[in-house]
């Protein structure tokens, strides 16, 4: 079940997606997740909205870590964040491209959701980012810092300030996937931002195959969103994903049992994937093929007598 991601060998095609403010789930937050990921020999992506600094997460021990980045209006701020990630040993930049604006999150509005006022975004500590270092500030304050003019030129600019490989997170169409290849990025993460950005957006798994076909093997394609079982992972791999990222399952397990909870969910998903592979006759990842699954697009070719 081992595989390689950007040249880094990991124990399974299951990695940890970036989720912000993990200290709300457990006091050890991102540090607990980093330790669990390292123990499982897999990759975690640290969110820009982290309660712990790059150095604090790096100090949890050896491990392969990527850094999720937003483009802010102040490019100097972006540059400083990238430099901090590089110095702390992070191995890649994951640029989120589906959030130039924050979606209308009606559940948060209905519930009167507010972040704890004493919670800080330590990843920005010491940088000239004003009040936004306080995570308890409102969503409207965050909007003032995101660059709403985000476009493909920003991808090119980011390539000029770092030699780290860059992945784009939030691609949902074949057209954008082709442009991403032309832009020279190292990979794509098919994602709809946990379905929190736009109502009626397609599920990541529904558009995965067209994106895989569009890139024609020139760069790796990963996927996140809706991964709850080993069978979900198997389906994603059969549709052409190189590996998957999991988000909510990690946060739920972190809230339940901290670091040990995250270790449990990673083992659970690994074991479920391994069992699915065995029952489908796939002795290794390379034996998971498109022929193992049936989708809505296959209905016209499905035998009528079945």
> Would you tell me how many other CB atoms lie within 10 Å of the CB of residue 148?
10
Q: Tokens 């909007």 label which residue?
A: 143
Structure-block tokens of residue 246: 């999991």
Contact predicate 186/6, CB 8 Å: yes
Do β-strands 8-10 and 3-5 pair in parallel, antiparallel, or remain unpaired? antiparallel
Q: Which residues pair with 168 in a beta bridge?
A: 95, 188
Active site residues: 193
Report in angstroms the alpha-carbon separations of 230 from 45, 145, 178, 247: 20, 38, 29, 14
Q: What's the chain's Rg over C-alpha atoms? A: 19
Nearest one of 133, 139, 145, 114 to 50, comparing CA atoms: 133
Output the CA angle 12-245-78, nearest 5 degrees: 125
Dist CA 139 CA 148 (whole Å): 14
15-51 core/surface letters (b: 16 or more CB in 10 A; e: else): bbbbbbbbbbbbebbbbbbbbbbbbbbbbbbbbbbbb
Q: Identify each DSSP E strand in 160-218 by its residue range.
A: 166-171, 187-190
| 260: CB partners within 8 A, 6+ apart | 36
């Amino acid at each position: 079940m081992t595989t390689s991601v950007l040249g880094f060998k990991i124990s399974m095609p299951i990695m940890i997606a970036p989720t912000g403010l993990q200290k709300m789930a457990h006091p050890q937050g991102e540090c607990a997740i980093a330790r669990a990921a390292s123990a499982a020999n897999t990759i975690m992506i640290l969110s820009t909205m982290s309660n712990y600094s790059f150095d604090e997460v790096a100090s949890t021990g050896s491990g392969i870590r990527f850094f999720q980045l937003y483009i802010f209006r102040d490019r100097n701020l972006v540059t400083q964040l990238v430099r901090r990630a590089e110095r702390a040993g992070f191995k890649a930049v994951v640029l989120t491209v589906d959030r130039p604006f924050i979606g209308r999150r009606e559940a948060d509005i209905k519930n009167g959701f507010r972040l704890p006022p004493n919670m800080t975004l330590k990843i920005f500590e010491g940088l000239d980012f004003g009040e936004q270092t306080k995570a308890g500030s409102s969503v409207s304050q965050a909007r003032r810092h995101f660059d709403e003019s985000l476009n493909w030129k920003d991808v090119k600019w980011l390539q000029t300030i770092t030699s780290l490989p860059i992945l784009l997170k939030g691609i949902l169409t074949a057209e954008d996937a082709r442009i991403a290849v032309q832009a020279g990025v190292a990979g794509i993460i098919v994602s709809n931002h946990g379905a929190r950005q736009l109502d009626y957006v397609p599920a990541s798994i529904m558009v995965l195959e067209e994106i895989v076909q569009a890139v024609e093997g020139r760069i790796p394609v990963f996927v996140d969103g809706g991964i709850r079982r080993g069978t979900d992972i198997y389906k994603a791999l059969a549709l052409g994903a190189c590996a998957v990222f999991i988000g909510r399952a990690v946060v739920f397990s972190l809230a339940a049992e901290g670091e040990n909870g995250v270790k449990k969910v990673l083992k659970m998903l690994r074991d479920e994937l391994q069992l699915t592979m065995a029952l489908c006759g796939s002795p290794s990842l390379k034996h998971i093929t498109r022929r193992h699954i049936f989708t809505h697009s296959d209905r016209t070719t499905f035998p009528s007598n079945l």
